[in-house]
Amino acid sequence: MIKVGVVGASGYTGLELVKMLVSHPKFELSYLATTTGDTMIEALHPSLEGVISLNVDKASAEGVAEHCDLVFLALPHKASMGFAKEVLKKGVKVVDLSADYRLELDTYEANYCEHEDKEHLDSSVYALIEYYREELKSTNLAAGPGCYPTATLLGILPFIPYLDTNVPLFVDAKSGVSGAGKKLSDTTHFVTINDNIFAYNPLKHRHAPEIAEKIEKVHGAKMQVNFVPHLIPATRGELISCYAVLKEDIDPLEVLTKHYKNDPFIRVRENPVDIKSTAGTHFCDIYAQKNGNALFVNSAIDNLLRGASSQALAAANLMCGLPEEMGIPTIAYMP
């Protein structure tokens, strides 16, 4: 068995990781930690009562090294890199769910803060599985993509060679409230979000440069990304609508089907997608349609799973020489 741990076990993504790791056939969940520790996992998450009973320690690199061959870091941005730096030095593989290793240095520092682990940043692999599968097999540090970039990139990347990249890409994104994390704010208060929907950080959200950077990485194409996220009154789920201009005539569904023919967790749909069909799963559902040279691409994921925890688990599987799909949830449920 491969011993793994979760640092940041108190959050939503930490809980999803624990739920998957409990029944994973090759990973042994041997370490749980938060910044404070001194509790039990079933006390943090009552839904785990009768499922697992495990101490939650105060996070330390020494504790990780003692108990883990690989660790998932479900820590906030800026907090993860300092911890990851020490853990990596101790020979433990890391899957980081924060933004700290998913961007080029200039992009990161322009949108977050000064990076304190430039050495490992250069060797990290962006864990968008369908595009970096082989690289993940030989890395010790996987950087989980943002949930919005995951759904957007999986939808739009197959079409970049056919687009007029001089025309900006417009992305309309909608996410359930769990994407904002556990910490309460004015916008996530029940009274605010119930029966409501609104945009936040329009055209200024820091996932826009992440999307633009990865389009250039994969296809060598510079493209302006106009990204507008919205919060919707749902617990989980994410719906993306992309609008772009084609430079040649194509059959959009044919392009998608051919592009993802060997990717079992991409489902090409013949009608616009919805969030309930992917809730609780690792699937990304994609639909596309054109009208003349106007292209519409529609994708849906579970923001906590494909947008974070199950994508992290798939990356960990590949890093440890295991089948990508091992322990990955595939049955949708009604949230």
Report the greatest alpha carbon distance in the chain: 61
The catalytically annotated residue of 68, 147, 242, 284 is 147
DSSP 177: G
Can 147 be counted among the known catalytic residues?
Answer: yes
Residue with tokens 């101790």: 90
Three-state secondary structure call for residue 13: helix
Structure tokens that stand for 148 in this block:
């919005």
**Rounded CA separation 68/87 (Å):** 10
Q: Is 243 exposed, middle or buried (0-12, 13-18, 19+ CB in 10 A)?
A: middle
Give whole-number Cα distances, 313 to 24, 126, 176, 208, 332, in Å.
10, 13, 21, 25, 18
The first and second tokens of residue 273, run together, are 């997608």
* Chain mean position to CA 26: 22
CB 236 within 8 Å of CB 335:
yes
**What are the φ and ψ backbone dihedral angles of 72, each rounded to 5 degrees?**
-95, 130
CA dihedral of residues 153, 154, 159, 160 (deg, nearest 10) = 30
Which positions are annotated as active-site residues?
147
